[in-house]
Amino acid sequence: MPRRILPACTDYRIGAIGAGFIMRDVQLVAYRNAGFNVAAIASRNPERAREAAQLRGIPLAYASIDKLISDPAIEIFDLAVPPPHQLAVVRRIIELGAKPLGILAQKPLGMDLAEAREIVSLCRDAGITLAVNQNMRFDQSIQAAKTLLDSGALGEPVLATIEMRAVPHWKPWAGERGRLTLLIMSIHHLDCFRFLFGDPASVYVSARRDPRTKFPHEDGICLYILEYANGFRASAWDDVWTGPGAAGASPNTYIKWRVEGTTGVAEGTIGWPRYPNRQPSTIRYMTERRPGVWIAPQWNEVWFPDAFEGPMAALMDAIAARTEPRNGGAENLGTMELVEACYQSIREHKPISLHP
């Protein structure tokens, strides 16, 4: 089962760009607990940056993002700006001649595949190691599922499913291009399927609008099937409606997952829908080695905030080893390609091949 393994070097000087909820209440908490060195912070709103610095004990709060980018002492930039602005920040890092060792970018890596490719290209050409904060793959139960699969305990995977019933709090930028659930929420599940099982051959999506969401969008409630060349199938139901009621008040919100293999089965839950309550994710599994016996390891850590140390730790390890992070930008293009194929499937109402 997953163990907490911190990178060999944890004292890289981190510059946090953005001071909203994800940075202030999740990432900075995880970094503090892990002993990471957040040296400075900046935001489009200087007052918000100062408040976050005071709250989380960060030594410097810059009056502008440009001033933080221009600080030569910063070794890693951690971007937590809205996705429509992420490419512009990366461009600004290059324009100002900053020489960071690495950048941790948020998911989605841009609002579409073209933006993601440009971010990857800019960082590659500048010699900057790029990682993506696809944090659900670092959730404790997903890591445990990966351990089981890699050990062969479940045999050959046959079927995997994720069922989400939750009401996200959509930010205003979510309505800018009519892309909603797939780009913001389903991207977690699509990335986890890739992390656990590799790239599918094709994907089919059926979607309808979310009645609660008033701005135009093409993907509210989404059901999708990933088809693999060897016959394996992965499927998810991402229900952002869950029934009438205000966001956060709908009954029985949850995320469940299940993996069935030729010699075992594993199933679990993701604790995020209960945030801010600390509800750890779970896993239990049964194999032919011990038929009829469910094994259910437990831990105290939770996805929000504890798993958020994982993406940064992976970037630090890659910088130290001079390798690509396991959550690297180039690797994440596979997830963005899958998201793009999902939107194409909605428009054309047919399966879309990813590797023709």
Q: Domains (ranges, CATH) in the chain?
A: 13-134 (3.40.50.720), 137-307+336-353 (3.30.360.10)
> Backbone dihedral region of 109: left (phi > 0), alpha (psi from -120 to 50 degrees) or beta?
beta
User: How many whole angstroms separate alpha carbon 334 and alpha carbon 113?
Assistant: 10
Give residue 9's pLDDT.
83
Give residue 244's pLDDT.
84
Instruction: Specify the pairing of strand 352-353 against strand 202-208.
Output: antiparallel
Q: Is 252 exposed, middle or buried (0-12, 13-18, 19+ CB in 10 A)?
A: exposed
Asked if 125 and 198 touch (Cβ cutoff 8 Å), the reply is no
Cα angle 18, 78, 69 (rounded to 5 degrees) comes to 80
Give residue 176's pLDDT.
86
Asked if 202 and 227 touch (Cβ cutoff 8 Å), the reply is yes
The span from the first CA to the last CA of the chain, in angstroms, equals 37
Q: Can you say whether the dihedral through the CA atoms of 187, 30, 146, 292 is positive or negative?
A: negative
Give residue 296's pLDDT.
98
Give residue 207's pLDDT.
98
Residue with tokens 């890659």: 318
Give residue 154's pLDDT.
98
Give residue 248's pLDDT.
55
Give residue 10's pLDDT.
86
Read off the amino acid at residue 336.
Answer: M
pTM for this structure? 0.95
Contacts of 78 (CB under 8 A, 6+ apart): 14, 15, 16, 17, 23, 27, 38, 103, 104, 312
Can you give the pLDDT of all 356 residues of the chain as single tens digits?
A: 555 567 878 899 999 999 999 999 999 999 999 999 999 999 999 999 999 999 999 999 999 999 999 999 999 999 999 999 999 999 999 999 999 999 999 999 999 999 999 999 999 999 999 999 999 999 999 999 999 999 999 999 999 999 999 999 898 888 888 999 999 999 999 999 999 999 999 999 999 999 999 999 999 999 999 999 999 999 999 999 998 866 556 668 999 999 999 999 999 999 999 899 999 999 999 999 999 999 999 999 999 999 999 999 999 999 999 999 999 999 999 999 999 999 999 999 999 999 75
Beta-bridge partner residues of 322:
none
